[in-house]
């Protein structure tokens, strides 16, 4: 902000404040609307009478959602993919990014070229599907974990961050008798909490929101994540309402069920973000600018 005592400065501050309030409203309104629709009276929701605040009150949509076993199966699958996949992603990413940040690594240039090359060119969907099938990963949980093990853009950000760590720390650790692996785990990792938090958040959000890979590689519904189930309910109008509701009630409740599932799928990420926010900003700024 300008923070000026002049009239033009105060006017600029007021304009910035008004603009930011407008942006906040734009960002928050969809979430508030979805939540209000999910707890409103089914008749009001079906008639599209809810615009901001809920009309009436009903938790029937959430009751139907949580009573459905497919929801819980998909939810647990998503948690497994998010936690396991994020841990695997972060370990693989920092293990690749750290050597690339050291100037004495003789393969630094060729390896960097190879990984950046994959950002521009890929094998395509059909060859990748054939490879996954030949490796025995088709219709297994590992298909969602291994295929996205390393994000090239995240490797670049992490590598840039690692270059900001003073070389003198590494040299001091070597003088104390530490080898490269010990230096990595006892010196580098403790100093890299900001960038690790950024990677955790980015990878976790990616896993939580992913559905296309599951659509291609996981025909078994017992392995499918919540987002794929959400697609079936929102786009195909199948799943929850068809399995647990009589036909005369579907027209009133199916819209509410959709909004309730959206809230159930969104809230975990909203709860996690505030705890990582202080690391997030610092890690992104250092990883993207310095080095």
Number of domains in the chain: 2
118 and 96 share a domain? yes
For 22-71, the pLDDT digits (tens) are 999 998 888 888 888 888 887 777 777 778 888 888 888 888 888 888 88
% of the chain surpassing 70 pLDDT: 87
pLDDT tens for 156-190 read 889 988 888 888 888 888 888 888 888 888 888 98
Residues 5 and 107 reside in one and the same domain: no
260 compared with 233, residue with greater pLDDT? 260
pLDDT at 291: 45
- At residue 79, φ and ψ (nearest 5 deg) are -60, -40
**255 and 162: one domain?**
yes
What tokens were used for 279? 């690391």
Residue 135 CA, distance from chain mean position? 27
Specify whether 80 is located in the same domain as 156.
Answer: yes
On whether both 47 and 164 belong to a single domain, the answer is no
- Average pLDDT score, the chain: 82
Q: How far is CA 41 from CA 34, 50, 217, 244, in A?
A: 13, 9, 39, 19
- Are 144 and 215 in a shared domain? yes
Mean pLDDT of 127-146: 91
- The confidence score (pLDDT) of residue 243 equals 52
Measure the CA–CA gap between 280 and 196, rounded to whole angstroms.
Answer: 9
- Could you tell me if 276 and 201 are in contact, meaning their C-beta atoms sit under 8 angstroms apart? yes
CA distances to 8, 71, 223 from 76, rounded to whole Å, are 55, 9, 9
Task: Specify the CATH number for the domain of residue 146.
Answer: 1.10.3720.10
Provide the pLDDT for residue 288.
Answer: 54
At residue 197's C-alpha, the angle toward residues 193 and 199, to 5°, is 120
Mean pLDDT value of segment 219-229: 89
| Better-scored residue on pLDDT, 177 or 155 | 155
Q: Which of 11, 38, 58 is the last residue of a domain?
A: 58
Q: How far is CA 72 from CA 68, 229, 237, 248, 264, in A?
A: 7, 11, 19, 26, 11
User: Are 127 and 152 within one domain?
Assistant: yes
C-alpha 136 chain-centroid distance: 27
In a shared domain, residues 96 and 32: no
**Range(s) of the domain holding residue 132:** 60-289
End position of a domain, from candidates 58, 79, 104: 58
Distance CA 132, CA 135 (A): 5
Is the pLDDT at 97 greater than 70? The verdict is yes
pLDDT in tens, 245-286: 555 455 556 777 888 888 888 888 788 777 767 766 665 666
Predicted local distance difference test score (pLDDT) of residue 237: 59
Q: Which two tokens stand for residue 146?
A: 């291994």
Q: Does this model's pTM top 0.85?
A: no
User: How much is the pLDDT for 103?
Assistant: 84
How confident is the model at residue 258, as a pLDDT?
81
Give the pLDDT mean for 212-229.
Answer: 90
Q: Which two three-digit tokens encode residue 284?
A: 């992104």
DSSP 8-class letter at 238:
-
Stronger pLDDT, 33 or 3, i.e. the higher one: 33
Are 21 and 94 part of one and the same domain?
no
217 pLDDT higher than 90: yes
Residue 3 has pLDDT above 70, yes or no: no
Residue 90, pLDDT score: 95
**Integer Cα distance of 225 and 74 in angstroms:** 5
Predicted confidence (pLDDT) per residue in 192-202, tens digit: 888 888 898 88
Same domain, 102 and 14: no
DSSP secondary structure letter of residue 5: S
Same domain, 93 and 13: no
- Residue ending a domain, choose from 13, 40, 58: 58
User: Do 12 and 86 fall into the same domain?
Assistant: no
């Amino acid at each position: 902000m300008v923070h000026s005592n002049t009239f033009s400065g105060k006017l600029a501050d007021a304009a910035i404040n008004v603009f930011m309030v407008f942006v906040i409203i734009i960002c928050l309104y969809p979430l508030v609307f979805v939540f209000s629709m999910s707890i409103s009276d089914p008749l009001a929701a079906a008639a599209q009478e809810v615009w901001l605040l809920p009309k009436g009150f009903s938790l029937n949509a959430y009751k139907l959602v949580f009573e459905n076993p497919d929801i819980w199966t998909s939810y647990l699958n998503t948690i497994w993919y998010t936690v396991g996949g994020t841990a695997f992603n972060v370990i693989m990413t920092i293990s690749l990014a750290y050597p690339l940040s050291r100037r004495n690594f003789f393969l630094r240039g060729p390896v960097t070229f190879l990984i950046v090359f994959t950002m521009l060119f890929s094998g395509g969907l059909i060859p990748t599907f054939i490879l996954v099938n030949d490796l025995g990963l088709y219709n297994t949980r590992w298909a969602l974990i291994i295929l996205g093990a390393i994000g090239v853009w995240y490797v670049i950000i992490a590598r840039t961050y690692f270059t900001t760590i003073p070389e003198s720390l590494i040299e001091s650790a070597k003088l104390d008798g530490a080898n490269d692996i010990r230096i990595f785990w006892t010196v580098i990792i403790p100093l890299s909490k900001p960038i690790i938090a950024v990677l955790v958040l980015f990878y976790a959000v990616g896993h939580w929101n992913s559905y296309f890979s599951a659509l291609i590689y996981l025909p078994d519904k017992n392995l499918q994540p919540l987002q794929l189930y959400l697609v079936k309910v929102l786009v195909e109008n199948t799943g929850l309402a068809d399995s647990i509701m009589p036909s005369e009630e579907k027209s009133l409740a199916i819209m509410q069920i959709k909004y309730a599932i959206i809230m159930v799928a969104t809230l975990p990420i909203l709860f996690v973000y505030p705890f990582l926010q202080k690391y997030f900003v610092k890690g992104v700024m250092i990883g993207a600018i310095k080095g």
